[in-house]
Each structure stands twice: as structure tokens, then as C-alpha cells.
Amino acid sequence: MTQLDPARRTQVFQALRAQHIETPSWAYGNSGTRFKVFAQAGIPRTPYEKIDDAATVHQLTGVAPSVAIHIPWDQVDDYAALARYATDRGIRIGAINPNLFQEDDYRLGSLCHPDPSVRRKATDHLLECIEIGQLTGSDVLSVWVPDGTNYAGQDSITGRQDRLHDALREAYDRMPASMRLLLEYKFFEPHFYSMDVPDWGTSFAHCLRLGEQAQVLVDTGHHAPGTNIEFIVATLLREGKLGGFHFNSRNYADDDLMVGAADPFQLFRILNEIVAADALAAEANVAFMLDQCHNLEPKIPAMIRSVLNVQEATAKALLVDRDALRTAQRDGDVLGAHAVLMDAFNTDVRPLLAELRADAGLDPDPIAAYHRSGYQQRIEAERVGGSAMGWGA
């Protein structure tokens, strides 16, 4: 690796320390495909045990201090107690994810359903999640609307948009000033003719109407193949409307594989836009969240791997020589400009990140440290009869 001068090294280390990567509670539970859920040993039996796992990932990586929860998958009697449990373990509750897709009532949609009583039920669930956010000290309501239609003519496209706006408006108006509503989009599935929030443009339009506390959530797995996601990221950043990410990898559809596994270069290009816009630190309010399912691989090491992958892409983006890039771009030096990016992308940042961890008193190799810790053996012994939670539950 090219040696960094001390001032630059300090800058890069500071930027890396400021980045927080949120892990999702549902990725610690058993998951699978529509064909089969393969149960693993040591799976959490309660939301509390999911917090234990998320806290373990944070202890080992130092950059994953919050965990997103999904309601009702993570339903408990006392949310303030759940938040205290997290704080006692060195993390906090992150985004609250409502579930609008697992009730029979939602066959024709939730917030966009033609029947007002179903819309009422779905909107009430958003309100409940806002309350849970207040009880847990969360400042993000993360909304994915699974609504859509399967056949042309099945319902009015415009009517559904109007209903969606009304429901989101009600939720938005209920949020405290400290909370943001992040509206996720997805181009297909579970519906195959139209989704009601299929793309960033639709999400953006709704967020604009709602107000400043509404922003777009980019799930990297929710685009058509070949989509230039970093262009979307750059555009949203310019407009102050990038609320955050759900990072994962996709090869075909919404695969929810480990981030950086399928296309590390894409992840780097996305992080490059973030760094170029100076949007890495917490003040920029871009939430770096993971949304993954580990169907085959062991959950906790996979989560650590994912956090490290985001960190590696970020480190590479921080190594881009911005002055050289600007000069090459100004001079119309196409190959030169591209080479500046590729130099950074091709840098092996693992020694740098190992140093960063050692500086923070962490093990330079978090995955090896996990395997040595005995944590896996302990949860496998203790959590007998772990239930399937989250996907495939």
C-alpha cells in the first residue's frame, strides 16, 4: 500500500472512526428462501438476544453501534427496557422498520389499499412504530411499502399514489422533530405490474411533498440490473434528500447477500460519491444500514464481514486523490481521471484498517477474534430451541 503521510493518515482515520454502520436485527434470525429456511444453531430466541449479537459485532468492529429493529418481529412489552438493554451493551436501537407485508388484510396493499379500513390499520401501524421510536430513542422510521398491482387496470395508479400520500402525511405529522421518515423504493416484488414506490423518483416526489424530515432510502438490491446507483446517490445528495442506505449485494433480484460480495467496485463507486460530498460523518445524516439475510453462512461472522466490506470500500474512497482527480477532470484527461479512481480502488486497505483497529484497542482481525472468543460455542449451547425470526418466520 502506498504510504500515507501522517496528516493524511490522521484525516483518513478520523473519517473512518466517524462512520457508523447499522446492522439489522432480522439478519441475526433464521432466514431462507421461498423454498426452505435452513435453521442454524445458536439463533436468538428473543429481541434481547438479537441485541446481544449486534453488540458483539460492534465490540469486535468498533463501527456498528446501532441495530435496526422490525415490528412486530421485535415486539416486546417494554421498549424503554429494550433500549436500556442495548445501551448497557454499548449499542443503541436504530431505525424502526414497520411490517406492512405479513397480514392477510394486505393482499391488495397496505397504505394504498382500496379499502379505507385496511389503510387505517396500516397507518396505525406506522403511528405505533413512531411511538416505539420515541420509547427507544430512535430517530429513524424506515418505511418500505410492499404495495402494488399485478395486472394493468387492477387499480388506479393515481388513486393509489393519493392514498399513499395521505397515509404518509399522517405519519409524518405525528413524528417528533428529531425523527426522520426514510422512504425506501423497490422496482418489483411482491408485485409484478406496478409497485407503488418503484424508484427513487417516486420516493423523492413523496418526500418533497412531505417535508424536510422525509428522505429517500436507497436499498442497493432494489434496482434493475445495470442501474447506475452512484448517480442516484449523487443526485439525492445534491438535493439534500439522501436519508440512508440499506446495503446488500444482488446478482439477480432482491438477493440480500452480503454487501460488497457481488460487486465491490459498485460499493466503492457509491462510497466515492459519499466521500466526495463529505457525507460520511454522523452530522451528514446519511444512515449506513445493512439489510441482508444470511441463509447459508453463519450469521455473526457474516455480519462482521459485511461491516468490514463497507469499511474497506469507504477507506478506498477516502484514498482517492481528489486534487489529482479534479485536475484530470478539468483537463479532460479521461484515462487519467479514471486511473485516479482505479488506483484508490486497487489499493489493499486491509493493513490500514488493521492499524485503525489496533489504535482503538481492537483486534486487527475481527473475524478471527470472533472465532477465538467462544461466543459462538456459548450461544449454541445456551440458545436451545431458537426460533425462526424475521424472514421465513
**Site track for ligand PSV across 287-306, x = CB under 6 A:** ----x---------------
Of the residues 74, 155, 291, 363, which one makes contact with Mn ion according to CB under 5 A: 291
Q: Is 22 in the site for ligand PSV (CB under 6 A)?
A: no
Q: Is 199 in the site for ligand PSV (CB under 6 A)?
A: no
**Site track for ligand PSV across 203-232, x = CB under 6 A:** ----------------x-------------
Residue that is written with C-alpha cell 418481529 in the block: 73
Amino acid sitting at position 141: L
267, 309 Cβ separation under 8 angstroms: yes
Residue among 42 and 146 whose Cβ is closer to Mn ion: 146
Q: How far apart are CA 347 and CA 366, in angstroms?
A: 20
**Interface with ligand PSV in residues 254-273 (CB under 6 A):** 254
**Interface with ligand PSV in residues 158-187 (CB under 6 A):** 184, 186
Residue among 100 and 325 whose Cβ is closer to Mn ion: 100
Q: How far apart are CA 251 and CA 279, in angstroms?
A: 27
**Interface with ligand PSV in residues 90-129 (CB under 6 A):** 97
Q: Is 22 in the site for Mn ion (CB under 5 A)?
A: no
Residue among 97 and 311 whose Cβ is closer to ligand PSV: 97
Q: Is 246 in the site for Mn ion (CB under 5 A)?
A: yes
Choose from ligand PSV, Mn ion, none: what does 97 bind? Cβ within 5-8 Å by kind: ligand PSV
Cα diameter, the chain: 64
Interface residues toward ligand PSV, by CB under 6 A = 97, 144, 184, 186, 219, 246, 254, 291
Interface residues toward Mn ion, by CB under 5 A = 219, 246, 254, 291
